[in-house]
Chain A
Amino acid sequence: MMGRTIFIDPGRCIGCQACVSACRECDSHRGKSMIHLDYTDEGQSVASLPTVCMHCEDPVAPCAEVCPADAILVIADGVVQQADTTRCIGCANCVNACPFGVPKIDLQAKLQMKCNLCYDRTAYGLAPMCATVCPTGALFYGTVEELQAERPGVQVADTFTFGRSEVRTGVAMVVPADRVRWPVPGGLPVVEINGKDVRR
């Protein structure tokens, strides 16, 4: 996990979409929002989950690893940049390999785009757009110490399981204190699809 990063607490998310609107204002992808806001149990619950790029650290950025054009740059402080416009060929390898479902693709422009932690802002010590506008603190930008100073007793986790694999990320999620030593489930293996048990 990076020192100063985003902490996501879905428990605080009210689905107001302020982050989605603010993300559009980011200079590096003006007019297009890169944050995802999903309703995990739509129709039954108001629960919502904001998803920014998790900036995977280990393995280092699966999106960059599968890129056939070496278009995705991972800079030394762990920020996984969006695709280089010169190199990206729009093959969508990154879109489908990302375990968190983050990158977007413009098939006409043959260009991948994704959250780059508002590099134009964070490079100068400012918080990303989404964290700046989030009214409930579901998206918090700072160090873990700053988070804990504001929310005593809060713990965070930066490791996710996908089947037998673990992915450690630069962006972390808030978890209950008794769960901190365990990785967060990433959704794989899927045991049920649309009410049908798909376990073998």
Chain B
Amino acid sequence: MRHAPRMAERAHPPEVQNRANHDVRPYGDGVTEPPEASAAAEPPDPAARTGSTGAEPGTPPSTGPGTTGAPGAQLSAEPRTAEPRTAEPRTAGPRTAGPRTAGPRTAEPRTAGPRTAGPRTAGPRTVTARATAAGVIVSALLILAIVLGSRLLENFDSALLPYAVATVFLAFGVAYRYTVWVSAPGARRLFKQGWRSFFSVANFRKAPTALPRMIATYLGFQKFLGARSHARWAAHQLIFWGCILASLITFPLTWGWFTFTSGSGSGPGYEMRIWGFKIIGFDSLDFLGWLMFHGLDIAAVLVIPGASYFLWRRMKDRGAVTGQRFAYDLVPLIALIVISVTGLLLTFSSIFLHGGGYEFLAVLHMVSVVFTLIYIPFGKFFHIVQRPAAVGMQLFKYTARQDQEVLGCRRCEEPIDTGPYVDNLRGTMRDLGLDFDEWAEYCPRCKRVLRGSAYLSQVKKGFK
């Protein structure tokens, strides 16, 4: 791309770069498009106009001669070699064009996150420094909160020290990753717009219930997952509420914020205290007491079926299996199941085995929890941190829609999205050096039709 020198240097061989100096203007002055308004009135989804499915089997790809460097195999002035393709990330120089192997691709995936930061974004070094600073500040604040919340470690349970240390690492990792994430142009702009909508008094006056409603339906009950699949929604709800319950219990416990004291020294009357202040008194032998002491078992009972369903699906569902990665897709589920099962076994050991094997199980449980906490910022679990930010995006769109600021396609006038949203996207595209941002004001279908008619009128007249 000419306007992104970094990319052009990397990807275009010299012959292609020289094309920029070609003295013939490609395909005339511009692109025309069909004048018929009727085309615009068509439904955008071609699937709505399904035709015959009884077409004859088409032409399967030929495996004829010339698969390696046949004469006339030059493509768009790019030199092609006969070497087999490699799975390495592409670099400058001639690209290879040999046949692919028939085995599954094992290439390491790349993400388009910080790597794609364009010329108008903060440099990677600045982002790293900022992210490190954020990580250090957040973890220092957490340590301070642990010390103060446990009354200068008076209530701190030293048996839970590894968990507490893991949460400090977790705090660093989440703050670091979050900062890197919101530094990329797409996330940064929506992040700002989300907070702007959140803090807008005018928005609040117009729709005071919008935000709580979105938090409840989107983050709490996850209605959007129901639209994907009812079974996945149910399984995710089980995991979600189980994890929420477990987090609410274990995090304050490991930080020394929760304490249970008994006036008599041995019960059955207990007091639950937060930061040393009494919150509730209960009898450990009644139902409330049972709930208090088995909260984590309940959480495990919720998580195990949910995570097991997803694990089963990851082995059976052909859609889920496509492109599935062990570390990203399977490890989180295995981790959840291991944590839950070892946690339940602790209860089993204390009730039925008189504490037999308790120490070993406690260490196994601790190791699995510590691993999972430290894994959170790097893998699939990061969606726990990312997803709430999406409420900001929804609020941003919702408030603009309330103000009737919907932008129609410049050609067919079908609504695209809200005007402020499209402006925001155009800004993101310019940040990234994608200089065709004007195109964002056309609906996808009109983009395709305009490209098709340009091809029809300028490349292959009448498609001949």
- A residues adjacent to B (C-beta < 8 A): 1-4, 10-11, 13, 15-18, 20-21, 24, 27-30, 32-33, 35-45, 47-49, 51, 57-62, 64-70, 72-78, 81, 85-87, 89-93, 95-103, 106, 108-111, 116, 119-120, 123-125, 127, 131-137, 139-146, 148-150, 155-168, 172-173, 175-176, 179-195, 199
Contacts and interface: CB of A to CB of B under 8 A. Distances in A.
A43 B39 contact: yes
Contacts, number: 454
Given A58-B1, A167-B1, A181-B76, 7 more contacts: A3-B99, A59-B434, A68-B186, A68-B189, A75-B323, A150-B64, A182-B27
Nearest to B46: A37
26 contacts: A10-B460, A17-B53, A28-B322, A33-B46, A42-B39, A57-B11, A59-B1, A59-B433, A61-B112, A68-B393, A75-B109, A92-B417, A93-B190, A93-B428, A133-B57, A134-B58, A146-B61, A146-B62, A148-B66, A163-B439, A181-B77, A183-B19, A186-B436, A186-B451, A192-B33, A194-B40
B35 A168 contact: no
Nearest to A173: B455
Interface stretch (B81-89, B264-272, B350-358): B81-89
A31 B35 CA distance: 34
A120 to B, nearest CB: 4
B428 A165 contact: no
B15 to A, nearest CB: 9
B97 interface: yes
A10 B431 CA distance: 34
B210 to A, nearest CB: 17
Contacts of B35: 192, 194-195
Given A15-B51, A27-B319, A3 B98 contact: yes
Contacts of A159: 16, 76
Interface in B37-89: 37-40, 42, 46-47, 49-53, 55-70, 72-73, 75-78, 80, 85, 87-89
B322 A21 contact: no
Contact of A193 (B33, B42, B107, B458): B33
Contact of B440 (A96, A149, A165, A168): A96
Contacts of B75: 1, 144, 155-158, 172, 180
A125 B98 CA distance: 13
A38 B112 contact: no
A51 B445 CA distance: 10
A180 B62 contact: no
A86 B380 contact: yes
A194 B454 contact: no
A33 B47 CA distance: 7
Contacts of B65: 149
Nearest to B410: A193
Interface residues of B, number: 144
A74 B425 contact: no
B400 interface: no
Interface string B94-106: 0111111111110
Nearest to B29: A191
A162 B392 CA distance: 32
Nearest to B325: A73
* Interface core residue of B72, B87, B96 (most chain A CB under 10 Å): B72
Nearest to B441: A96
A114 B364 CA distance: 42
Contact of B455 (A10, A32, A65): A10
B143 interface: no
B22 A131 contact: no
A174 to B, nearest CB: 8
Contacts of B462: 45, 47
Contact of B319 (A10, A28, A95, A137): A28
A62 to B, nearest CB: 5
A58 B306 CA distance: 41
B39 A127 contact: no
Contacts of A57: 11, 90
Contact of A185 (B56, B432, B455): B455
B436 A163 contact: yes
Nearest to A150: B62
Contacts of B189: 68
A148 B227 contact: no
Contact of B432 (A37, A66, A92, A120): A66
A12 to B, nearest CB: 8
A47 B107 contact: no
B447 A187 contact: yes
A109 B110 CA distance: 25
B76 A76 contact: no
B403 interface: no
* Interface core residue of B33, B65, B417 (most chain A CB under 10 Å): B33
B448 interface: yes
In the complex, the 4 A-B pairs of residues with the closest C-beta atoms, listed nearest first: A64-B112, A101-B444, A187-B450, A125-B102
B1 to A, nearest CB: 5
A60 to B, nearest CB: 7
A152 to B, nearest CB: 8
B390 interface: yes
B360 interface: no
Interface stretch (B2-10, B130-138, B144-152, B366-374): B2-10
A145 B390 CA distance: 46
Nearest to B114: A70
B260 interface: no
B26 A87 contact: no
Contacts of A192: 32-33, 35
